[in-house]
Copies of this chain bind each other. A is one copy, B any other.
């Protein structure tokens, strides 16, 4: 362990992933699923729950992924809660991938980049998810900000939802659109490379499409993967790691997100004591992390 925090996002992330495992914990405050323990549904409950999840994650996982939509539903008060959760996570030594799926034309994308990846970001994140549909010039302001600030950008390539095939899998010549997108990101991947051998230009490659993730790895070079769909969405550890490659301590190449199954498990819904909730969440996090670490080590 070292007190020096690497100033490149990919290196900060991989230092912690190699130490703790590839689990990323989703912080998705679905109002109907947050235990009554944290108060009645609203931004205050989302904040209290989100900070409690952060506390349980500290020292157990490398990274958390707050979901912007579920904070935004509460308007400005929800955004304030999101900002506080992101700040609490970073203060606890966790990396933060903010899942906001932003994207816009250049001058406007700079606004988003400043809000989340800038030197004086209102909602500081280590990495922001962005959508590629509008083209590379709309991703550029995010990559430029990430380069300046030692942060990352996670581009949607092949998502985990049932409808992901509608457009992402359409054949462009002899290969699907998502591979064209992955190939087009190569120069940006180079720009965010760290000493760890990995790039903070992340690609979202869902666990519900393991074959697709393996194909994406063949063209993605050293881009780290953000893998959604493990756990509640149905993807297992083996599928989740299909885009990983051999590394110093087992297979590596990204982080695997679990949301409901670890931060909003059914068993924690009705508990009335904080200590009991803490224990359930810690157990769920540790079990998911162990499942992934063992699978990465080839022990399952």
Q: Which of A97-139 contact B (CB under 8 A)?
A: 99, 101-109, 111-112, 114-115, 118, 122-123, 131-138
User: With A138-B163, A170-B172, A177-B177 as given contacts, are A28 and B132 in contact (CB-CB < 8 Å)?
Assistant: no
By size class, the interface of chain A is: 35 or more
Stretch at the interface among A77-85, A88-96, A238-246, A280-288: A77-85
Q: Is the CB of B163 within 8 A of A115?
A: no
A102–B69 Cα gap in the complex (Å)? 9
Q: Is the CB of B162 within 8 A of A181?
A: no
Residue on B nearest A71 in the bound complex, by CB: B111
Q: Is the CB of A122 within 8 A of B78?
A: yes
Number of copies: 2
Binary interface profile of A, 124-165, with partner B (CB < 8 Å = 1, else 0)? 000000011111111000000000000000001001111111
Q: Is the CB of A167 within 8 A of B180?
A: yes
Nearest CB of chain B from residue A160's CB, rounded to whole Å: 7
Chain B residues with Cβ below 8 Å from A135 are 159, 161-168
Can you report 20 A-B residue pairs in the complex whose CB atoms are below 8 A from each other? A69-B102, A69-B104, A73-B112, A73-B115, A73-B122, A76-B76, A76-B77, A76-B79, A105-B228, A106-B161, A133-B133, A134-B163, A135-B163, A135-B164, A135-B168, A136-B163, A170-B172, A170-B177, A170-B180, A172-B172
Given A67-B108, A75-B115, 17 further pairs, Cβ under 8 A? A69-B102, A69-B108, A70-B111, A72-B111, A75-B122, A101-B104, A103-B131, A105-B160, A132-B167, A133-B156, A135-B159, A135-B165, A135-B168, A136-B163, A136-B166, A138-B163, A170-B172
